[in-house]
Structure 1
Amino acid sequence: MLEKIIILDFGSQFTQLIARRVRELNVYCEIHPFNHIPELDSTVKGIILSGSPYSVRQEDAPFVDLGLFKAFPLLAVCYGAQFIAQQNEGDVQASNSREYGRANLSHVNNANKLFKGINIDSQVWMSHGDTIKYVPDNFEIIASTADVKVAGYQVKDTNTYGIQFHPEVTHTVDGKILLENFLVDICGCSQDWTADAFVETTIAELKEKLGNDKVVLGLSGGVDSSVAAILLHKAIGKNLHCIFVDNGLLRKDEFESVLAQYKDLGLNIRGIDAKDRFLTQLAGVKDPELKRKAIGRVFIEVFDDAAHEVKDVVWLAQGTIYPDIIESVSIKGPSATIKSHHNVGGLPDFMKLKIVEPLNTLFKDEVRRVGKSLGIESFILGRHPFPGPGLAIRILGDVTAEKVAILQEADAIYINNLKEAGLYDQVWQAGAIFLPVQSVGVMGDERTYENVICLRAVESVDGMTADWCHLPYPVLAKISNEIINKVRGINRVVYDISSKPPATIEWE
């Protein structure tokens, strides 16, 4: 059975990062809201409590029954540590000194399992407004900083630990050591959750789950759906029916090139040209959420027509990955809608298909590692993420065939130049955006009043956070010059230097 760590989310901005660090140590983990605790069976090796934007002193602060976890090793981070202390009649107060940013450990109990291999002066990262002033007699202080006496504690004669710093961030230099101490020495995790193990287990599970049933999968050309397709193909072969829809919003020549690549992989695939159908429904629609919904609705209609041509189909496969799930659920239930996920939320009742999502426990970089284990070519796995609604949400305002054609040409120049400069694989995601503004320019001896293209390139691991890429100025200059000279209708190119957060990667 697959062993796992359960991470209870109290709303911290770092919760997903805790999960990533645990998985980097080859231990499977799941994030669950604190108010939706899963069944804690024998596969659970330990529990981690996250931080929180709340104070334990607030009346509406997140609360869990700690008695549920008595049988499991427990690591409480920041808010979690303060919560345990408070529930055991310790004293948590608003801090009088700054407890944000870098700090150094002034006391470490190296004999304690959690701090094995971590020395005095090791740098840690603090991020809290409250602090634990004192702990009960049955708590042992195992780490301190100059300003925070209770930086780490253990409840005596138990496997319950609390730390007021964040081991998951890179600023905590020995954070990986601490987490590995907890996972291996305290929880007894075997660290055998690897890409190869995932492939072997998932294919076996898919064979058992799907049997001889037929499955349809909508391929997008992206990494997620491609890896999902190969996993399913290895499990059920020709019973997987792939459908690749040209919605008229793909990159230049992408439909033809990607369709050929899929056929080379041996997939049972059908390409459908539905450009006119999508563009007709998008005519005059400016609101980005309405554009997404229109595209989703038409895709379901086109996909449903194609799926009905496959006799006796039972399942719909989707390339949903873990961040899609996380961003669709918050600690207070469904999260506020930033934007609709095109592959989360199910199907209309009339399709009557069961859902299979073989990648819904993986982060994006884990999907790529699984793809590599499956032998998928690097040029497919290295393809930049591309939004489900395609160029429709990279055209701000209404979408027309003319704008799509302009953006496709500009985007092709941008991406091709990144590849020629050897920068494509260093960028996590890049794309051009068609802005709903026009600017004055001069071409030859004539005054122009034409459109503006914005270039976006970000560095990221999984898209949860991202920073803008510092592309070399000569490369940006060459891209701008080519777009303005070769793409009719564009006379200005700008570069987006916003990070996520506060901005999102896409503009809509």
Structure 2
Amino acid sequence: MTAHETVVILDFGSQYTQLIARRVRELNVKSEILPPQTPVEEIQSRHPIGLILSGGPASVYEEGAARPDPGIFSLGVPVLGLCYGQQVMAQLLGGEVAAAERREFGAAELSVDRTCPLFAGLPPAQRVWMSHGDKVTKLPPGFRVVAHTANAPHAAMAWEERKLFGLQFHPEVKHTDYGLQILDNFLTLCGARRDWTPAGLRQEAVAAIREKVQDGQVIVALSGGVDSTVTALLCREAVGEATVPIFVDTGLLRLGEGDKVMERFANYGLAVHRVNAAERFFAALAGVEDPEEKRRRIGHEFIEVFREEARKFPNARYLAQGTLYPDVIESTSVRGPSATIKTHHNVGGLPAELGFELVEPLRFLFKDEVRRLGLELGLPEEFVFRQPFPGPGLAVRILGEVTPERVALLQKADAIFMEEIRQAGLYREIAQALAVLLPVRSVGVMGDSRTYENVVALRAVTTEDFMTADWYRFDGDFLDRVARRIVNEVRGINRVVYDVTSKPPGTIEWE
């Protein structure tokens, strides 16, 4: 691929590190996340035009706290330290850091020195987002204070001649009013060309696929989602009919989704090989109630079905899948071991023993970049901006055993919920909406008859990053309309409830 100018981000464990990388890319500059103690020689091999040091949960004065290679400050490129990044910069360059008398979390009023190029063109007072328990108490030699708040006298520091800057707040979050402009000013100080664009990424991805596959065939594992669809279209553009899309229909998709996948690709001139494997998946799931076991069995069955289908194309040596940059980042995470909340099933994540060489044209892209690339490829907005759907499908939205009958119930209830959301013009306002079939029955009355039928829970959330989420406040009339339709139109459901749990403590999906 073309060598893009790159801003390297050293990740000290902040929950916002990927958000920093996305914000830089929104400004048309490539960003790459590396572990905090990456040797300066390895950083230099990326030819960075600038460095950003992320925040993190540790204190710089604690034993074992992560520190960057001090050589980064001698690379001759601008450096921006954020929160912990500011503190570790101050400490390494001769300043002092101590615990703050008052920890600061949330919005704060910042006063800035507009002669500092980081704040060029910005108002003298602005709202920023703080999240820190420590603070810089003594500036390193060469630095001056360029912003302060009531509780943070060194809220921003700068050594303009060397283009070294430190901020005690988070410019990457939307709660900071002019955060994107501050990052934009930093990139200007880096001399960025702004060459990270969807059109350029498309050309490079196509060229890379063409160079790797050459005169061979490439199989694409289609799930029907945005990532695999964009991957398939890039492969088609690169090698034409040598692209072999395989769509394993598990029977666990939304109502009519399998047919929609086929229609979508027919419109793009791609002959998709559809495998109707619903019976096999239902047989594998018979009697299974544990969500982790459901995931394991679905993953195993998918691989077996895919293996059998792939054998029909002996000339195919390559497998294209929609691996995204967050997957790559997680494999080199700087964070220590953390508890697995739930196993993530990616139907594209096929094991190496299948014997294919991998083609991963999206492996350096975030989801929002894949969406923009999808628009560049001509995919409709309503598809490109569709809400997330779990790899195991409705199996993890059915609590308890998964049967064809229970899937059919949930498909109908889900279709009504999503239809009403779209008709109300709320689809893009809500980050994710879903219906869940519960493993309980309730007594009801339909006409003059007593019923004892299933209960469905509705859930809708808003979120910036899916790490935290808040439940969506529908008005009462909307919920009343959806509940009435489900109970009247879906035979077998007689009660509808709405989930008002935020994340945390609840996850977005129920399983």
> What TM-score comes out, normalization by structure 1 length?
0.94
Instruction: Give the C-alpha shift of residue 327 in structure 1.
Output: 4.9
Deviation string for 1:301-327 (max 9, x for gaps)? Answer: 101111110122111111222334445
Letter in 2 for 1:426: E
Instruction: Give the C-alpha shift of residue 54 in structure 1.
Output: 1.1
Q: Which residue of 2 aligns with 1:198?
A: 201
Q: Distance in 2 between matches of 1:467 and 1:176?
A: 24
Instruction: Give the C-alpha shift of residue 279 in structure 1.
Output: 0.9
Q: Distance in 1 between matches of 2:121 and 2:375?
A: 34
Instruction: Give the C-alpha shift of residue 349 in structure 1.
Output: 4.1
Q: Distance in 2 between matches of 1:175 and 1:132?
A: 21
Q: Secondary structure at the match of 1:125?
A: strand
Letter in 2 for 1:20: R
Instruction: Give the C-alpha shift of residue 42 in structure 1.
Output: 5.3
Q: 2:240 aligns with which of 237, 249, 253?
A: 237
Q: Secondary structure at the match of 2:101?
A: coil
Work out whether residues 328 and 334 of structure 1, in 8 Å CA contact, stay in contact via their aligned partners in 2.
Answer: no
Q: Secondary structure at the match of 2:194?
A: coil
Q: Secondary structure at the match of 2:342?
A: coil
Q: Does 1:391 align with 2:394?
A: yes
Greater shift in the superposed pair: 31-40 or 423-432: 31-40
Work out whether residues 105 and 121 of structure 1, in 8 Å CA contact, stay in contact via their aligned partners in 2.
Answer: yes
Work out whether residues 246 and 271 of structure 1, in 8 Å CA contact, stay in contact via their aligned partners in 2.
Answer: yes
Instruction: Give the C-alpha shift of residue 291 in structure 1.
Output: 1.1
Q: Does 1:95 align with 2:100?
A: yes
Instruction: Give the C-alpha shift of residue 126 in structure 1.
Output: 1.2
Taking a change above 3 Å as real, the CA distance of residues 484 and 344 of structure 1, as seen in their structure-2 partners, is: closer
Work out whether residues 323 and 464 of structure 1, in 8 Å CA contact, stay in contact via their aligned partners in 2.
Answer: no
Q: Does 1:495 align with 2:498?
A: yes
Q: Distance in 2 between matches of 1:462 and 1:313?
A: 37
Q: Secondary structure at the match of 2:260?
A: helix
Q: Distance in 2 between matches of 1:449 and 1:46?
A: 64
Letter in 2 for 1:364: K
Superposed, which structure 2 residues align to 1:467-482 within 5 Å? 467-482=470-485
Instruction: Give the C-alpha shift of residue 156 in structure 1.
Output: 6.1
Q: Which residue of 2 aligns with 1:163?
A: 167
Q: Does 1:41 align with 2:45?
A: yes
Work out whether residues 50 and 76 of structure 1, in 8 Å CA contact, stay in contact via their aligned partners in 2.
Answer: yes
Q: Which residue of 1 aligns with 2:380?
A: 377
Instruction: Give the C-alpha shift of residue 373 in structure 1.
Output: 0.9
Superposed, which structure 2 residues align to 1:29-178 within 5 Å? 29-36=31-38, 39-41=43-45, 43-71=47-75, 72-106=77-111, 108-155=112-159, 157-178=161-182
Q: Distance in 1 between matches of 2:74 and 2:197?
A: 29
Work out whether residues 327 and 335 of structure 1, in 8 Å CA contact, stay in contact via their aligned partners in 2.
Answer: no
Work out whether residues 6 and 46 of structure 2, in 8 Å CA contact, stay in contact via their aligned partners in 1.
Answer: no
Taking a change above 3 Å as real, the CA distance of residues 365 and 500 of structure 1, as seen in their structure-2 partners, is: farther
Q: Which residue of 2 aligns with 1:249?
A: 252
Greater shift in the superposed pair: 198-207 or 420-429: 420-429
Q: Distance in 2 between matches of 1:32 and 1:336?
A: 22
> What TM-score comes out, normalization by structure 2 length?
0.93
Q: Which residue of 1 aligns with 2:22?
A: 20
Instruction: Give the C-alpha shift of residue 372 in structure 1.
Output: 0.9
Q: Distance in 2 between matches of 1:57 and 1:95?
A: 13
Q: Distance in 1 between matches of 2:339 and 2:17?
A: 18
Superposed, which structure 2 residues align to 1:82-481 within 5 Å? 82-106=87-111, 108-155=112-159, 157-184=161-188, 186-327=189-330, 330-332=333-335, 335-343=338-346, 346-460=349-463, 463-481=466-484
Greater shift in the superposed pair: 132-141 or 162-171: 132-141
Q: Distance in 2 between matches of 1:86 and 1:15?
A: 21
Q: Secondary structure at the match of 1:358?
A: coil
Letter in 1 for 2:176: T
Q: Distance in 1 between matches of 2:504 and 2:191?
A: 36
Taking every aligned residue pair, what percent have the same amino acid on both sides? 51
Letter in 2 for 1:95: A
Deviation string for 1:210-237 (max 9, x for gaps)? Answer: 2122111111111111111111110111
Gaps of at least 5 residues in structure 2 are none
Q: Distance in 1 between matches of 2:331 and 2:443?
A: 42
Gaps of at least 5 residues in structure 1 are none
Instruction: Give the C-alpha shift of residue 417 in structure 1.
Output: 2.2
Instruction: Give the C-alpha shift of residue 461 in structure 1.
Output: 5.0
Q: Distance in 2 between matches of 1:327 and 1:448?
A: 49
Taking a change above 3 Å as real, the CA distance of residues 142 and 421 of structure 1, as seen in their structure-2 partners, is: closer
Deviation string for 1:152-172 (max 9, x for gaps)? Answer: 112464222111111111222
Q: Distance in 2 between matches of 1:99 and 1:118?
A: 23
Aligned Cα RMSD in Å? 2.1
Q: Distance in 1 between matches of 2:10 and 2:254?
A: 40
Q: Secondary structure at the match of 1:191?
A: coil
Q: Distance in 2 between matches of 1:454 and 1:83?
A: 47
Work out whether residues 399 and 437 of structure 2, in 8 Å CA contact, stay in contact via their aligned partners in 1.
Answer: yes
Greater shift in the superposed pair: 327-336 or 61-70: 327-336
Work out whether residues 319 and 343 of structure 1, in 8 Å CA contact, stay in contact via their aligned partners in 2.
Answer: no
Taking a change above 3 Å as real, the CA distance of residues 61 and 383 of structure 1, as seen in their structure-2 partners, is: same
Q: Secondary structure at the match of 1:339?
A: coil
Aligned length: 506
Q: Distance in 2 between matches of 1:10 and 1:92?
A: 17
Greater shift in the superposed pair: 320-329 or 8-17: 320-329
Q: Distance in 1 between matches of 2:17 and 2:382?
A: 31
Work out whether residues 123 and 172 of structure 1, in 8 Å CA contact, stay in contact via their aligned partners in 2.
Answer: yes
Deviation string for 1:111-166 (max 9, x for gaps)? Answer: 22222223322222211001111123322222222221111112464222111111
